[in-house]
Amino acid sequence: MSDDSVVIVTGAAGGLGRAMSLGLLEAGRRVAGFDVKEAAIQNDRFFDVVGSVRSERDCARAVAQAIERFGAVHALVNNAGLGMEGISLEAMTKGINFYDVPAEKWQALIDTNVNGPFLMARAIAPRLVKQKWGRIINVTTSYPTMLKNGFSPYGPAKAALEAATVIWSKDLLETGVTVNVLIPGGAADTAMVPAEAVSDRSSLVRPSVMVAPVVWLTSRASDDVTGHRFVARDWDPRASVEENVRKAGALAGWR
């Protein structure tokens, strides 16, 4: 697969998604950025698709428009998500009992963080299987965050996507399509961490750490890797791929 392969990145308008989109473009990829607002990245190899991952119709349209624009599609980065700040600032900073979470906010986060990746993967997977090559990369979170008290529904939602990664990778074995997890490796300097939640933003993980591993994961070089998780903060662009796979990678899920 040439380095001009086509990657759909959800949540491309900001944070991790924007950093990954810019990094993929720098690496020669063509990128369809799917978000509720335009990313407005000025590059002729970037294409904005405005819509919601909560909508089955929008997800199908995102795949169709990427193919219409670029003639192909090869990879999906399921990055779009809501954090605990979507519940309230207090929930983000102090946590909240699960029974105090408003039902509509629980539903919105689950729809975005669990159902959205499923709808996107469901829309693109048949195309990837048919062409016998493709990539699905899910952005989850650290295991302690999944189990952190007061962090429902964010923790359970990311745990569900982690488990889905393992299952999807098994479903797609021997098809040429791989499914892996990529996480920043700590709270990232994005809008998911409001200014009021942390006084020293230099302590946060820079979104740019996602670039090197996502470029590798969307390449032919990662053909034999599926059902794994990679911690972007532990990936050293100066080291060999083999060393990074050992240092930053592990099997996804609880096994």
pLDDT averages per 10-residue partition of the chain, 255 residues: 85 96 98 96 97 98 98 98 90 92 97 98 98 98 95 97 98 98 84 70 85 97 97 95 96 90
Domain residue spans of the chain: 6-251
Tell me the CA end-to-end span of the chain in Å, nearest whole number: 31
Q: Tell how strand 228-231 and strand 75-78 pair up.
A: unpaired
Cα–Cα distance between 202 and 189 in angstroms, integer?
8
Check the CA dihedral 102-104-107-108 and report its sign.
Answer: negative
Cα–Cα distance between 135 and 21 in angstroms, integer?
15
Q: Assign 45 to helix, strand or coil.
A: coil
Cβ pair 191, 214 in contact under 8 A? no
Cβ pair 207, 18 in contact under 8 A? yes
Tell me the HSE value of 182 on the side-chain side, using a 13 A CA sphere.
Answer: 31
Nearest Cα to 189, choosing from 199, 203, 178, 174? 203
Cα–Cα distance between 82 and 79 in angstroms, integer?
10
Cβ pair 89, 27 in contact under 8 A? no
Q: What are phi and psi of 92, to 5 degrees?
A: -70, -40
pLDDT of residue 194: 67
Tokens of 47: 């294409």
- CATH entry, 6-251, from 3.40.50.720, 3.30.365.10, 3.30.40.10, 3.90.105.10: 3.40.50.720
Cβ pair 166, 227 in contact under 8 A? yes
- Residue 178 pairs with which residues in a beta bridge? 135
Q: What is the pTM of this model?
A: 0.94
Q: Give residues with Cβ within 8 angstroms of 133, minimum separation 6.
A: 1, 74, 176, 177
Nearest Cα to 217, choosing from 243, 174, 249? 249
Q: Tell how strand 177-183 and strand 228-231 pair up.
A: parallel
